[in-house]
């Protein structure tokens, strides 16, 4: 993976229209980066490059045909741009393909003129006068004739001669483009120069060496700092709007690393990583890549509490003042837990947990109402609990604050395909990304190397991983975002600093809360007699009997489900076979279990779930016709090409007996009128 600094010099005025609302009276505001600087969107530059390559390829082929007819040596570049391979291609029946070139947003380097606008108006053809209601006010921060430099980053997922050929083609293509930005027909954004220079980005510090066979090397804290906005869409609300999740799935991180590794080995993007590599480079990482487990990365604000150590990346100055006291790695950076769906809100807004309640109960946490008759006792003001389905914005905000969860800011960006003949937007090709703005946030996850056995192989895998990334992971999500990455060892007691979890039973029960979605059943499990509640309870009971080896039995559950499917999943994982969407149980779902086996069997099961997460139960394997590799039991690492929701991609992570089940238990609320 190589990095280049791209500088485009264009002539003012220049305008790329923002999808955000501008100041009063401005119809076309300028697109701006997070720091307010005018910018050229990377997708816009990449689209211009794609069109330029298509035109240049036609010219080169025509020149070669003419040279052959004349019997002369062909002129022009030796390599024709491989557009589909270098920039990716849309789904044409064989699935989508990611490209090797990623162009980030380009920000203006010149100061802009204050409050600069200009107007346009349509003219009626019949009268030659201004058309009514056709005045448009454009924001133009740069004057006519001004030279404006836009700089950004280009990532090339290739090395050696292929990288040199790609860079040469990028320079030729961008020099072919006459104009950047909007308002092409009236002379905005004329291209004056293109400069592409290789650069070395600041990398994270060297990862700490740990004893290969020690527990510190089995679970590592992973921290991402995104250098640009990203979009990771789970389920679009409509056909052309993709809303990003704030959490980065482990599968997205692992998939970006797989593409990065394939490029480093000279293979096309999306190529499978062999478990028996013959390559001299990264042999340990290639051998054990399937066994690596990446947990979802959760956003946390970039602040350092007392006794916490901030993450320092290579380009950052050493921490000063309050950020650099004498402290250990314990608890930093924190990785918040997801609140359970058994959490309910009272009428006064207080939270209570009802996981251990035997049946429906009213919540009476307010002052008693005075009785109409002084001889009668005061009346209770108990109210029905409000589950998450009835929560409002304030309830979610308070629940997130209780568990240390943060929601980064977002921005909407519109995109459209262009008609190469008309050089205008293609009909019915408009779509939008709701992107997460990573400013002032880190994303904290974990890497689990416990599946690498023998343990003396783990350090070799870490060494290969550090050499591959050099502290940077590119191509994350739909926007192919780039992020700095750091890994650190943490003491075992600091694994869940905020949850205060314990495997000791609570009132003879064990409460399992999903921290990430999990595949626990299929649509086929919901067949049979009974209503929906009975069918779900039967399916979950079967799943936990299977996953626990019949050592634990389901008592009750508080769960939410959603379907994951569509054309992409069908083509990518089912091979256009029978369509059966995945039935996911959502994060936060709570399952109350009781012991049905020996104490040793229960303890072993809970420890395995807490350390490894939940594997796929037999009903899911049978329903989706998934077969593990012979000899593989309860690991699922060989299922990556047929199922995206496996442990190694971060799914099925659980928290057991979280502190909230003790501290906020509704049964601890004093009953009105009860004897103290």
Per-residue model confidence as pLDDT tens digits over 552-588: 999 999 999 999 888 777 777 876 677 889 999 999 9
Residue of 226 and 73 predicted with greater confidence = 226
- Check pLDDT > 50 for residue 331: no
From the list 529, 585, 545, the residue with the least C-alpha distance to 562 is 585
Distance CA 630, CA 573 (A): 20
**Cα separations (Å) of 545 from 89, 340, 444, 589, 595?**
45, 22, 32, 17, 11
Q: CA 332, 337, 343, 348: dihedral to nearest 10 degrees?
A: 40
- Check pLDDT > 50 for residue 462: yes
Query: Are 333 and 297 contacting, i.e. CB atoms less than 8 angstroms apart?
Result: no
Residue of 604 and 264 predicted with greater confidence = 604
* pLDDT at res. 208: 56
Distance CA 364, CA 410 (A): 38
Structure tokens at 348: 């006064």
Distance CA 456, CA 540 (A): 38
Query: Are 433 and 453 contacting, i.e. CB atoms less than 8 angstroms apart?
Result: no
* pLDDT at res. 630: 75
- Check pLDDT > 90 for residue 519: yes
* pLDDT at res. 498: 40
Model confidence at 491, in pLDDT bands (50, 70, 90)? low
Model confidence at 605, in pLDDT bands (50, 70, 90)? very high
**Cα separations (Å) of 494 from 384, 449, 500, 560?**
38, 17, 10, 30
* pLDDT at res. 447: 92
* pLDDT at res. 253: 96
- Check pLDDT > 60 for residue 314: no
Query: Are 343 and 389 contacting, i.e. CB atoms less than 8 angstroms apart?
Result: no
The maximal CA–CA distance of the chain, rounded, in angstroms, is 116
| Most confident of the ranges 70-84, 289-303, 419-433, 498-512 | 289-303
* pLDDT at res. 557: 96
H helix intervals, 495-598: 532-547, 567-573
* 62-71, 196-205, 476-485, 601-610: segment of lowest average pLDDT: 196-205
Half-sphere exposure (Cβ direction) of 97: Cα atoms closer than 13 Å: 16
Average pLDDT on 408-414 reads 88
* pLDDT at res. 322: 37
Q: CA 458, 459, 463, 466: dihedral to nearest 10 degrees?
A: 70
Residues 6+ apart with CB under 8 A from 119: 135, 136, 137, 138
Residues 6+ apart with CB under 8 A from 367: 381
Give me the chain's average pLDDT, please. 83
Q: CA 564, 638, 251, 104: dihedral to nearest 10 degrees?
A: -110
The structure tokens 């002539």 sit at: 11
Query: Are 648 and 640 contacting, i.e. CB atoms less than 8 angstroms apart?
Result: yes
* 17-21, 363-367, 395-399: segment of lowest average pLDDT: 363-367
Average pLDDT on 535-546 reads 95
Query: Are 512 and 256 contacting, i.e. CB atoms less than 8 angstroms apart?
Result: no
Distance CA 88, CA 40 (A): 20
The interaxial angle of helices 160-176 and 42-70, nearest 10 deg, is 100
* pLDDT at res. 125: 86
CB neighbourhood size of 209 (10 A)? 12
Phi, psi for residue 343 in degrees, rounded to 5: -80, 130
* pLDDT at res. 495: 45
Model confidence at 389, in pLDDT bands (50, 70, 90)? very high
User: Residue 97 gets which letter from DSSP?
Assistant: B
pTM, whole model, 2 decimals?
A: 0.86
Stretch (H or E) spanning 630? none
Average pLDDT on 351-361 reads 92
Residues 6+ apart with CB under 8 A from 188: 13, 14, 15, 179, 181, 182
Residues 6+ apart with CB under 8 A from 230: 244, 248, 435, 436, 438, 476, 477, 478, 479, 481
Share of the chain above pLDDT 70, in %: 84
Give bridge partners of residue 104 from the DSSP assignment. none
- SS3 call for 338: coil
* pLDDT at res. 329: 38
* 353-362, 398-407, 431-440, 569-578: segment of lowest average pLDDT: 569-578
Half-sphere exposure (Cβ direction) of 128: Cα atoms closer than 13 Å: 0
CB neighbourhood size of 336 (10 A)? 20
- Check pLDDT > 80 for residue 399: yes
From the list 180, 245, 157, 186, the residue with the least C-alpha distance to 42 is 180
Average pLDDT on 470-492 reads 83
* pLDDT at res. 280: 73
Distance CA 449, CA 461 (A): 9
């Amino acid at each position: 993976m190589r990095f280049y600094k791209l500088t485009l010099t264009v002539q003012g005025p220049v305008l790329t229209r923002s999808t955000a609302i501008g100041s009063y009276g401005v119809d076309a505001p300028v697109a701006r980066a997070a720091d307010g600087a005018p910018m050229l969107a990377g997708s816009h530059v990449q689209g211009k490059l794609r069109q330029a390559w298509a035109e240049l390829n036609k010219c080169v082929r025509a020149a070669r045909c003419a040279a052959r007819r004349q019997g002369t040596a062909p002129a022009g570049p030796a390599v024709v741009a491989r557009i589909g391979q270098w920039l990716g291609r849309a789904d044409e029946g064989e699935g989508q393909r990611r490209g090797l070139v990623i162009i980030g947003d380009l920000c203006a380097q010149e100061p802009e003129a204050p409050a600069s606008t200009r107007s346009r108006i349509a003219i009626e053809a019949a009268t030659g006068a201004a058309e009514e209601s056709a005045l448009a006010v454009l924001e133009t921060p740069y004057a006519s004739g001004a030279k404006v430099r836009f700089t950004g980053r280009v990532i090339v997922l290739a090395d050696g001669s292929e990288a040199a050929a790609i860079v040469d083609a990028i320079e030729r293509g961008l020099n072919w483009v006459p104009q950047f930005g909007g308002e092409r027909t009236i002379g905005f954004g004329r291209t004056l120069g293109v400069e592409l220079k290789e650069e070395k980005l600041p990398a994270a510090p060297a990862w700490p060496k740990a004893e290969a066979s020690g527990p510190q090397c089995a679970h590592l804290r992973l921290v991402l700092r995104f250098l640009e906005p990203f979009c990771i869409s789970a389920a679009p609300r409509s056909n052309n709007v993709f809303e990003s999740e704030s959490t980065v799935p482990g599968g997205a991180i692992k998939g970006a690393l797989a593409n990065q590794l394939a490029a480093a080995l000279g293979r096309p993007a999306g190529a499978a990583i062999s478990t028996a590599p013959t390559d001299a480079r990264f042999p340990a990482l290639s051998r054990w890549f399937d066994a690596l487990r990446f947990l979802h990365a959760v956003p946390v604000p970039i602040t350092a509490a007392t006794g916490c150590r901030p993450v320092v990346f290579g380009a950052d100055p050493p921490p000063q003042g309050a950020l650099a006291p004498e402290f250990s790695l314990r608890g930093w950076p924190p990785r918040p837990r997801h609140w359970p769906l058994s959490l309910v809100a009272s009428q006064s807004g207080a939270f209570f947990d009802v996981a251990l309640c035997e049946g429906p109960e009213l919540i009476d946490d307010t002052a008693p109402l005075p009785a109409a008759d002084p001889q009668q006792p005061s009346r209770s003001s108990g109210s029905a609990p409000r589950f998450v389905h009835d929560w409002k914005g304030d309830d979610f905000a308070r629940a997130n604050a209780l568990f240390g969860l943060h929601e980064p800011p977002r921005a909407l960006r519109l995109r459209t395909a262009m008609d190469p003949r008309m050089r205008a937007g293609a009909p019915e090709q408009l779509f939008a990304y709701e992107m997460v703005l990573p400013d002032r946030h880190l994303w904290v996850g974990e890497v689990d190397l416990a599946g690498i056995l023998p343990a003396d192989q783990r350090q070799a895998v870490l060494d290969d991983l550090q050499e591959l990334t050099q502290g940077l992971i590119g191509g994350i999500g739909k926007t192919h975002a780039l992020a700095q990455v750091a890994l650190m060892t943490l003491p075992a007691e600091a694994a869940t600093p905020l949850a205060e979890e314990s495997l000791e039973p609570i009132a003879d029960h064990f409460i399992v809360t999903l921290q990430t979605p999990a595949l626990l059943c299929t649509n086929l499990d919901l067949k049979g007699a009974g209503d929906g509640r009975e069918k779900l309870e039967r399916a979950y009971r079967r799943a936990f009997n299977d996953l626990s080896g019949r050592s634990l039995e389901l008592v009750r559950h508080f769960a939410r489900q959603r379907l994951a499917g569509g054309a992409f999943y069908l083509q990518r994982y089912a091979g256009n076979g029978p369509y059966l969407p995945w039935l996911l149980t959502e994060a936060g779902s709570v399952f109350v279990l009781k012991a049905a086996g020996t104490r040793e069997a229960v303890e072993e099961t809970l420890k395995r779930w807490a350390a490894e997460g939940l594997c796929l139960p037999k009903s899911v394997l049978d329903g989706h016709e998934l077969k593990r590799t012979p000899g593989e039991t309860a690991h699922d690492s060989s299922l990556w090409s047929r199922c995206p929701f496996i442990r190694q991609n971060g799914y099925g992570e659980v928290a057991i007996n979280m502190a909230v089940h003790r501290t906020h238990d509704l049964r601890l609320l004093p009953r009105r009128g009860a004897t103290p």
